[in-house]
Each structure stands twice: as structure tokens, then as C-alpha cells.
Amino acid sequence: MKRRELIGALAGAAAATTLSACGKNEEGAKAVPAVAVSKTIEWKMVTTWPKNFPGLGTGANRLAELIGQLSGGRLKVKVYGAGELVGAFEVFDAVSRGTAEMGHGGAYYWKGKIPSAPFFSAVPFGFTPDEINAWFYQADGVKLWQEAYRPFGLIPFPAGNTGPQMGGWFNKEIHSIEDIKGLKMRIPGFGGEVLKRAGGIPVTLPGGELFQAMQSGAIDATEWVGPYNDLAFGFYKVAKYYYTPGWHEPGSALEAIVNARAFEALPKDLQAIVEHACRVVNLEMLAEYTARNEQALQTLVNKHHVQLRTFPDDVLRRFRELTGEVIADVTARDRLAAKVWASQKAFLEQVSKWTRLGEQSFLRARGLDT
């Protein structure tokens, strides 16, 4: 009897719970739902990268996948490569006007709209990957970035880093600054402005057009990322000389940009998921490039006979002098750029002391007698 009574009581409780979840009590009256049914939210992400391109495109894919997993499928993000929904350099405007809720790219592509934008991606002779992440997360980097994008209805998040890049592919050797004069080179951001002042001709092209531009002779040189990505694009087929260091992009940060209205319409927990998924991808991408670059470099050198070259010291010194001129001009013309550079410069002066003492001195010790 007691067992039957217990089973009956449990059955009654389950029925009452079911009725409550449906919005009714035992008398059929309306009640507050015990469990709210979650609606699936669907977003589009447009990128400046070719679809599924290693590291960059797959990093965007990973970000979308992670948001879906962490949200339990409540927020689904579909990724579009460059040219699928909008062109590579239309990503900023597309997310700003709400054509897509999210974008993935590099901040220096938007310097024509926001003079301070390149500071959030790469400054020649500037931050290493660890240093720029420290500025983002432990200083006021992200706060200033959001201030810069706010008038456009966008919220930016760090969402990837390629690590130190290479100096680029050239169809001739660079012996002096004279060899830069008249050189047509694909190079974006502040690096392009430096090249221009050195007598070169900077060209801005999306990644998917670079091979053909080099092959046709439309450009004489190009930088892209580093061995991992450059091998995938096959630049060794159209240029023989591969230069280091990547003075123009010592630790290039990538961004996820989110339409502010779409973000603010999300529940707080989904907002946190988007933000922290970007942090995870920021970490994972840097690890991927660190792991893959040397493998790809060995393939370029040993299999494809690429000739590694180092920029002469006098060329690097001149590039550094011109970098100072470029930054001085940008900050003189734009109040926010001056504010961002003041923050970045102060942080760099402080953190670089530890980089030299902690990392640079250790790397020198590790290389002794090798």
C-alpha cells in the first residue's frame, strides 16, 4: 500500500509540474512558467579572409563554433568568407549597418574611417603579441578600442593574433633604402604609410588577390602573414626572396566586431559567452601560428628553395625613423589617435623593460653555443 501511495504521489507531482510548465495549475488557472523555452538566435559573421583559409579563416570558424557550443545552441553563428556575402573590405560597414551581426578581420583595414584604428592591430616596431594582449586586458586597450568604434555602432573584441610576421616577398633583393623607391608593395596600415615615405608605392589588396597581383606584375612585393599562411597561398611560385623581420607587424592582433544593437539585445549570459569565446580564440590562434610557422618555413626553404633574407640595418633604421613621423602626423590630426598613442606609448615603455630582461635575455642565454 505504501509503495502504491508513493508511486501515486510521484505521478501526481510530475503531472502538476507538467501543468505548471505549460502555464496552468491543477484547476486550469494560468501560472508563471516553471521553465522558459529559449529561442534560438541566428547571427551572420562576415570576414576579411578567404573561406576556410588556415589560421585566419579557420579562426573565424572556430569562434562561431565555440559560441554555439558554449551557448548550448541558443546562439548560432554562420560564417561567410570574403566575397560570399560582402567584399573583404566591406566587413566594417556591413556589421555597422546590421547586414551581418558580427565580423572578423584586422583593425588597420579601417584607417580611412578611424585614424586610430591601426593602433589596435599593429604598429611598426611596436608591441609583441604578449605585450599587446597585456595592453588590451590589463590596461585600457579594449576600453579605448570600444571608444573608437562606438560612433559606428560597433563593439570590438580581440579575437586572434598571428604572432610576429615576416617582412614580405620580393622579386628583387633589398640592399639599401634606394631599393625601396618605386617599389609597388601590398602593405596595409601604418606600414604602408612608412613605405610611401621611403619612396615606395603601397597597395591595399585583400589576401585572395595577392598571388595573381604578384604573378601579373601588378605589384613587385607583398607582405601577408608568415610561413604558415604564405605557404598556403603559394607565394614561393611568384617571388624568390623572403624577408625578415616583420618590422611593420611585430604582433598583429585581429578583431571580432559586433553590431552594438544585436549585442545589447542578447541576454547577459550570451553577451558573456561572445566576449569570452573571443578570448579563447585569441589564445588558440596565437598558439596555432607558433606551432605551424617553423614547419611551413622548413617546407619553403628545403622543398621550394625560397631564399631567406634579412633587411639591412640601415633600412630598418630608416623605417623606424619614418614610423615616428607617421605616428606624429596621425596623432596631430586626430584627438582620439593622440589619446590612444599616449596610452600605448606609456605602456610600451613600461612593459618593454620586462620583455628585454625576462624574454630577450633568456633567449640570448638559450642560444649560447648553438
Query: Quick check: bond before 245 cis, omega within 30?
Result: yes
In 3-state terms, what secondary structure has residue 202? strand
What pLDDT does 370 receive? Answer: 72
Question: What average pLDDT does this structure show over 262-277?
Answer: 98
What pLDDT does 278 receive? Answer: 98
| Residue 137, all three cell numbers | 586586458
Whether the pLDDT of residue 263 is over 60: the answer is yes
Q: Is residue 245 part of a domain?
A: no
Q: How confident is the model at residue 109 (pLDDT cuts 50, 70, 90)?
A: very high
Q: Which residues contact 250 (CB under 8 A, 6 or more apart)?
A: 122, 124, 125, 126, 127, 128, 164, 165
Whether the pLDDT of residue 26 is over 80: the answer is no
Calculate what percentage of the chain has a pLDDT beyond 70: 90
What pLDDT does 287 receive? Answer: 98
What pLDDT does 38 receive? Answer: 66
Q: Is residue 347 part of a domain?
A: no
Whether the pLDDT of residue 186 is over 70: the answer is yes
What is the CA 180 to chain-centroid distance, rounded?
28
| Range of the structural domain that residue 109 is part of | 41-162+251-290
CATH number at residue 124: 3.40.190.170
Tell me the whole-structure pTM to 2 decimals: 0.88
**Where are the strands (E) in 162-316, listed by range?**
168-170, 184-186, 201-203, 221-222, 241-244, 253-259, 307-310
Model pLDDT for residues 34-93, shown as the tens digit of each residue: 334 468 999 999 999 999 999 999 999 999 999 999 999 999 999 999 999 999 999 999
- Strands ordered across the beta sheet of 221-222: 201-203, 184-186, 221-222, 168-170, 241-244, 307-310
Model pLDDT for residues 145-177, shown as the tens digit of each residue: 999 999 999 999 999 999 999 999 999 999 999
Number of domains forming the structure of the chain: 1
Pick the closest to residue 118 from 350, 330, 343, 346 (CA basis).
330
In 3-state terms, what secondary structure has residue 45? strand
What is the CA 151 to chain-centroid distance, rounded?
21
d(CA 288, CA 189): 24
Model pLDDT for residues 234-245, shown as the tens digit of each residue: 999 999 999 999
Q: Is residue 91 part of a domain?
A: yes
Q: Is residue 107 part of a domain?
A: yes
Calculate what percentage of the chain has a pLDDT beyond 90: 89
φ, ψ of residue 277 in degrees (nearest 5):
-65, -40
What pLDDT does 369 receive? Answer: 82
Question: What average pLDDT does this structure show over 185-209?
Answer: 97
